[in-house]
Structure 1
């Protein structure tokens, strides 16, 4: 009885104390942003509109940058066995050496002390460009044996063009490691740097690994690419007749098989090509001449083996080709 009275009295005392504490607390409204933030944000937006965005900075000027670790990580990320010394040389362009030499001389340092003990990537770039061209030519001739030399040169020119190579180089992170005079790195400098990386891989791992590297990163750019987007043919019908004459096939005969909206603004014609009463190809066009040319292009794609429904390229690793052979030998 006494203990219950003591507990009730303690709870009552505690409640009175909490009420006194709560009455002494004042509730104040807190804004999500400071009052000065609105004016500051307005001034910064106005300054950005007048001056434009700040110039981009290379990754090396940002904090937490370790060039040696980044170069080593680049080699590991691509699963390639690069020589780190050759790989570092591949990223050094002549324009960077000239700009760095001029900067050091402008600081008033002695000319003997400003000398840079670095090699540029000119030799590696030339070696990589030669190997890339020869590999792509051999690959195209092996994959499309019926394709003439003009078509092979067009495909090789497309794959080794500045637009394709620089796109691959930027996606591989080569631009962040490239030592150049200006940033963003110009396309010609990035192209030569990528070829220097190919040259470094060629000297480090040999021609076979370098060929796999080019197959995986350059040849794959042909996926979804039409032949005549890379190869400009002015007279497809004349080329088709020339190819059929080489194969001793009867020359094609064009026939109009379908048409729609001939009297409208958007007409459509379908022309088919027949050779010895056999259908070679058919194609659409806004005019009969355009449809005939498109049908000739379709027939050329079939002759060269570059159709949309062709067998996909084999980009599987080399070990997968050797595995069934090993299993068959072990089972026997």
Structure 2
């Protein structure tokens, strides 16, 4: 009996304590999304649908922009020693100068005031384009000596195309520094600007450094690229017969090696090419003609040395003399020792 009374008193005391705590706790409701957010979001979506997305702005029209510092940072980022004046000239396109002169004339400025002390990059672009084609042609002939003239020209044409060069220029941040009438900068303007950069680097650092620059940023675009994606050959079998004739090798003979699913909608044929009872190459195709052409392309890649398992392109860093004074002292000490 006594124990039951004690338990009842304990329960009453605990209930009173909990009730006291509940009086002191204030519960507030918190919403994850405010009520006004729905109307605001609906209004912004309607405005975007009517007006369209905002026009892109160049980096120079945004805050915290220092053109001089950005040009210097561009040279440092590429680890190249550009002449600052030549580098700034390389970014100035003729369309920008014409638009700037027209804008100043519309403001009613005098002819002496409207004159700009700037030069466009036409000369640098022509110089860089000529040097780029010469360097890439020499590099292709040295790396693939068996490749004919048409193949070399096709590879050089691919590496200097507007699409490829403009893509490289965008990845290097050239678009933000280019002075152009339009933004985003058109591909042809980016192409001419990049060639002007090549001309500026050639004037600033010489032929060797410019060659390494082209090797690192343009020649590297050949990685994973097939030869016949750049060089369109209409009749590969005829070209193979011509190349074998130059090497005094009998013409190739196609033979069906194996096939699968010839009676289905997805047949597959493997055709092999033989010359003087020697195996040249094999290629697959959905038809016998397609397989024969693919086998001819494989044989041409082997003849030209442009196979997938060829030796990788050498992208090792150029030799640099980090301690010229130390080398000079060593040479002088060696000369003095020899005189003794």
TM-score class normalised by the smaller sequence: 0.7 to 0.9
Hey, what's the Cα distance between the residues in 2 that align with 1:233 and 1:270? 21
Hey, what's the Cα distance between the residues in 2 that align with 1:86 and 1:28? 67
Deviation at 1:69, TM superposition (A): 0.5
Deviation at 1:63, TM superposition (A): 0.6
Deviation at 1:26, TM superposition (A): 5.5
Paired residue for 1:316? Answer: 316
1:277 aligns with 2:277: yes
Paired residue for 1:153? Answer: 153
Hey, what's the Cα distance between the residues in 2 that align with 1:134 and 1:114? 40
Please state whether the residue corresponding to 1:318 is helix, strand or coil: coil
Count how many residue pairs are aligned between Structure 1 and Structure 2.
302
Paired residue for 1:10? Answer: none
Deviations 1:136-190 (A, max 9, x none): 0000000000000000000000000001100100000000000000100001111
Paired residue for 2:6? Answer: none
Paired residue for 1:323? Answer: none
Hey, what's the Cα distance between the residues in 2 that align with 1:195 and 1:171? 15
Hey, what's the Cα distance between the residues in 2 that align with 1:226 and 1:41? 50
Q: Over the residues paired in the alignment, what is the CA RMSD in angstroms? A: 1.8
Please state whether the residue corresponding to 2:319 is helix, strand or coil: helix
1:259 aligns with 2:237: no
Hey, what's the Cα distance between the residues in 2 that align with 1:184 and 1:234? 37
TM-score normalised to structure 1 length: 0.88
Please state whether the residue corresponding to 2:112 is helix, strand or coil: coil
Hey, what's the Cα distance between the residues in 2 that align with 1:31 and 1:129? 63
Paired residue for 2:142? Answer: 142
Hey, what's the Cα distance between the residues in 1 that align with 2:90 and 2:215? 20
Paired residue for 1:211? Answer: 211
TM-score normalised to structure 2 length: 0.86
Hey, what's the Cα distance between the residues in 1 that align with 2:318 and 2:303? 29
Hey, what's the Cα distance between the residues in 1 that align with 2:62 and 2:318? 40
Paired residue for 1:250? Answer: 250
Deviation at 1:90, TM superposition (A): 0.2
Hey, what's the Cα distance between the residues in 2 that align with 1:201 and 1:174? 14
Hey, what's the Cα distance between the residues in 2 that align with 1:229 and 1:160? 15
Paired residue for 2:167? Answer: 167
1:222 aligns with 2:219: no
> Aligned runs of 1:46-85 on 2, under 5 Å?
46-85=46-85
Hey, what's the Cα distance between the residues in 2 that align with 1:122 and 1:202? 15
> Aligned runs of 1:172-211 on 2, under 5 Å?
172-211=172-211
Gaps of 5+ in 1: 1-18, 321-325
Deviation at 1:33, TM superposition (A): 4.1
Deviation at 1:286, TM superposition (A): 0.8
